[in-house]
Amino acid sequence: MQDHEQEIMEYDVCIVGAGPAGLSAAIKLRQLAIKNNSELSVCVLEKGSEVGAHILSGAIFEPRALDELLPQWQQQGAPLHTKVTRDEVFLFSNERSSSEIPTLFVPKTLHNDGNYIVSLGNVCRWLAEQAEALEVDVITGFAAASILYDEHDRVAGVVTGDMGRDSRGEVKSSFEPGMAIHAKYTLFSEGCRGHLGRQVIKKYALDTSADPQHYGLGIKELWSIDPDKHRPGLVVHGAGWPLKENSASGGFFLYHGDDNQVAVGLITDLNYSNPHLSPYDEFQRFKHHPEIARVLEGGERISYGARAIAKGGIYSLPKMTFPGGLLIGCDAGTLNVAKIKGSHTAMKSGMIAAETVAEALFSGDQGGAELTAYPTNFKASWLYEELYSTRNFGGALHKLGTYLGGAYNFFDQNLCGGNLPFTFRDKTPDHNQLKQASASKKISYPKTDGVLSFDKMSSVFLSNTNHEEDQPCHLQLADSQQAISHNLALYASPEQRYCPAGVYEIIVDELSADSTPSLQINAQNCVHCKSCDIKDPTQNITWVSPEGGGGPNYPNM
């Protein structure tokens, strides 16, 4: 058999993930290097086929961090075209009725004056162009699969995944070993529930003093609608039906962006208790509410995707420093749930990280240290101030419910500046919230109509998801029997419903003697939302990176 020599690359800083945090860190590092006449070398690894391919967000973009990073962004062609012109917030009481909340009573964090409706994928593509112009190596189609440690147990870089292994792990004729990327410092910015970030948190016990992270599953579609119905700059948020009907929480959005397009989505908090609940089907029936249907009817659905968001806030932030690197952005959990925004906070966390790393390297640091200046710099920033002032927002909704929690947040944010003398913390992990199926109400979802609501497979098709089928499964079970003996027996196999892409399927072989059910994993359908890694009741499923370039290919999400 032919020997395959592993390529080794050396950088001062390796950044894992080409999202807002990682790209902002890369740009800031090179800006500082140029200012200091330094040869600081930086690479950004992106597992998607291109930058933006795996980026999915609403998205309302607050330009505060961008103003600091690239003050001339408007002259540099940043894809921020549609400024918010109006905010509307609704409560849906049932499938037919709704009430608009007067602006006076909406928490000020949901006011979007000065913000923009964007495709975050396109923003990241543009940020990557700015990074490359500053001589950052942006390497796409290569997934960081494992972490390199030095002899002192410090992070020393990453190894990208092998290409060309079959489903049994054996090499194929196309085999190429992963690259070893050595770096003085490694920044993990993989987004929510990053699989290497999780390993770092566990290895160095970074979450010892933090509350469990909490998550929501965001499902989004992009529609092209009748120009007569299009209101560029209109932002609609809301809560209530349909989730409230099944004792779940979350919220919806409808954003009128560019070119007669609207982004419509539903975020389901993953602390729900009924194992029969399906976030995907909740979203499909949500679109039939008259307030939403009147906008979408006569339009065309052009894209679909799903992604988890980390919404625990400041109480759930782990320690972000460890020997040899930092956790930044949604890998740490810097999203501001009160604003339903994480891009500007991710960018700022990356910029603070870049300043901290650069200061160390410019002073002669040879890497591998724990950058203890980062927490100090973080706490001195507007990012910390913003997260601290909204520290109780999510907890109040969890503990008090949508209506009482919403009232508390209005008084706290609008009248008291986030300083009410109460603390709301949720210390129960989302995966521990499910009740047994026998104690839960069964939910009968309506059939999709192919006009406003659609089946999962047609949705996955619109996400342009593709994986090489003959490769090791990237959805790994710690115990293959547990899916039947535990999840099926006690919870009616909730993985069939919390997955929004039809990845998990219970199969019964009618030809076998005992018709034993088994779990079939359709990994090629996976849109990398991470909900299975989060919600599985025994944490039996671990998401790891597939071959680089696999997964969704979002063009404008």
Q: Give a three-class secondary structure readout of 157-216.
A: EEEECCEEECCCCCEEEEEECCCEEEEEEEEECCCCCCHHHHHHHHHCCCCCCCCCCCEE
Per-residue pLDDT of the chain (557 residues; tens, 9 = 90+): 355 778 999 999 999 999 999 999 999 999 999 999 999 999 999 999 999 999 999 999 999 999 999 999 999 999 999 999 999 999 999 999 999 999 888 889 999 999 999 999 999 999 999 999 999 999 999 999 999 999 999 999 999 999 999 999 999 998 999 999 999 999 999 999 999 999 999 999 999 999 999 999 999 999 999 999 999 999 999 999 999 999 999 999 999 999 999 999 999 999 999 999 999 999 999 999 999 999 999 999 999 999 999 999 999 999 999 999 999 999 999 999 999 999 999 999 999 999 999 999 999 999 999 999 999 999 999 999 999 999 888 877 777 777 788 787 777 787 788 878 878 888 999 999 999 999 999 999 999 999 999 999 999 999 999 999 899 999 999 999 999 999 999 999 999 999 999 999 999 876 666 678 999 999 999 999 999 999 999 999 999 999 989 999 999 89
- Taking the C-alpha atoms of residue 357 and residue 365, their distance in angstroms, rounded to an integer, is 9
- Taking the C-alpha atoms of residue 534 and residue 258, their distance in angstroms, rounded to an integer, is 34
Q: What string of DSSP letters covers 41-92? A: -EEEEE-SSSTTTT-----EE-THHHHHH-TTTTTTT-S--EE--EEEEEEE
Phi, then psi, of 280 in degrees rounded to 5 = -60, -50
Please give the domain boundaries of the chain with CATH numbers for all domains. 8-71+121-212+314-389 (3.50.50.60), 393-430 (no CATH)
Place of tokens 């995907």: 280
Nearest partner of 161 among 530, 522, 469, 472, judged by Cα: 472
Contact (Cβ atoms closer than 8 angstroms) between residue 238 and residue 251: yes
Instruction: Kindly state the greatest CA–CA separation across the chain.
Output: 74
Phi, then psi, of 48 in degrees rounded to 5 = -70, 165
Tokens of 542: 């671990």
Side chain identity at residue 121, one-letter code: G
Residue 118 CA, chain-centre distance (Å), reads 16
Contact (Cβ atoms closer than 8 angstroms) between residue 22 and residue 328: yes
Contact (Cβ atoms closer than 8 angstroms) between residue 232 and residue 217: no
Contact (Cβ atoms closer than 8 angstroms) between residue 247 and residue 273: yes
Tokens of 475: 């959805």
Q: H helices of 305-342, where?
A: none
Place of tokens 């997964």: 551
DSSP state of 537: T
Residue 300 CA, chain-centre distance (Å), reads 26
Task: Note if the pTM is more than 0.85.
Answer: yes
Handedness of CA 455, 458, 463, 468 (dihedral sign): positive
Tokens of 514: 């005992």
- Taking the C-alpha atoms of residue 384 and residue 386, their distance in angstroms, rounded to an integer, is 5
Q: H helices of 342-448, where?
A: 343-362, 373-379, 382-389, 393-410
- Cβ neighbours of 509 (radius 10 Å): 11
Query: Can you tell me whether residue 35 is helix, strand or coil?
Result: helix
Query: Per 3-state DSSP, what percentage of the chain is helix, strand, and coil (rounded to 5)?
Result: 30, 25, 45
Nearest partner of 475 among 519, 444, 426, 537, judged by Cα: 519
Query: Can you tell me whether residue 302 is helix, strand or coil?
Result: strand
- Taking the C-alpha atoms of residue 393 and residue 420, their distance in angstroms, rounded to an integer, is 11
- Cβ neighbours of 130 (radius 10 Å): 21
Place of tokens 């500007």: 344
6-9 contacts, C-beta under 8 A, 24 or more apart:
6/177, 6/178, 6/179, 6/180, 7/177, 7/179, 7/180, 8/179, 8/180, 8/181, 8/182, 9/43, 9/179, 9/180, 9/181, 9/182
